[in-house]
Amino acid sequence: MDVISNMNNPVWDVYEQYRTVRVNVLRYEKQLTWTERKNKWMDIFIAVSTSSTAASMWFVKYTYFGDYTWQVCSVIAVILSIIKPILKYQDKIKVTRALLAEYRALDYAYQKLVISIKQRGKYDDELKNKFLVLLDKRARIIDEFVAGPIASIQRNRALDQANEELPPQDFYVPEV
């Protein structure tokens, strides 16, 4: 029987939730990487621009262009130093890491459930109960963490990647 032809099978609820969790893992991985990268480059810029040990840059500072550039960089560094605490990147990184860890654990639990369905060749009551536990865990994650808005481009990329990783035809659909 064609796997896709039996879309009314209750096992598809498991697979759809699994793919949704996978999308969230991919989304938060990208968000964490992006936030860490912005935070790191701000720190580097501030450190280099405001460093009193920048004597090694004397050749830049003592030319007309270098002096002007150094002043502009210093002003930007001061502005970044002021707004960086307001942006709260460290807090965002901490929350995103915790959220990502929760979703990765849930992703792994769904992976185990999918493998169990395939190995047993059926979606029995024990596996259905495991699925309900996973749904409760996801609900707890959603309640515990406040996720910010997601850009549609970022969401679509994560969805496309999850669909590539977990295409519907790869899932085992037992006979009802």
Rg (CA), the chain: 24
For 87, 107, 129, 157, 161, the CA distances from 148, given in Å and listed in that order, are 14, 20, 31, 17, 21
Confidence of residue 56 (pLDDT cuts 50, 70, 90): very low
Supply the pLDDT for residue 131: 96
**How many beta carbons lie within 10 A of that of residue 26, not counting itself?**
21
Q: For residue 108, what are its two tokens?
A: 């792994």
Angle between helices 125-144 and 89-120 (to 10 degrees): 170
- Amino acid found at 89: Y
State the average pLDDT for the chain. 85
Q: Where are the domains of the chain?
A: 11-170
Contact 117, 127 (CB under 8 A): yes
**How many beta carbons lie within 10 A of that of residue 77, not counting itself?**
18
**Which ranges of 51-147 would DSSP assign to H, the alpha helix?**
58-61, 64-87, 89-120, 125-144
Span 119-173, pLDDT tens digits: 999 999 999 999 999 999 999 998 887 666 666 777 788 888 888 888 888 888 8
Average pLDDT over residues 107-112: 97
Angle between helices 152-165 and 11-50 (to 10 degrees): 130
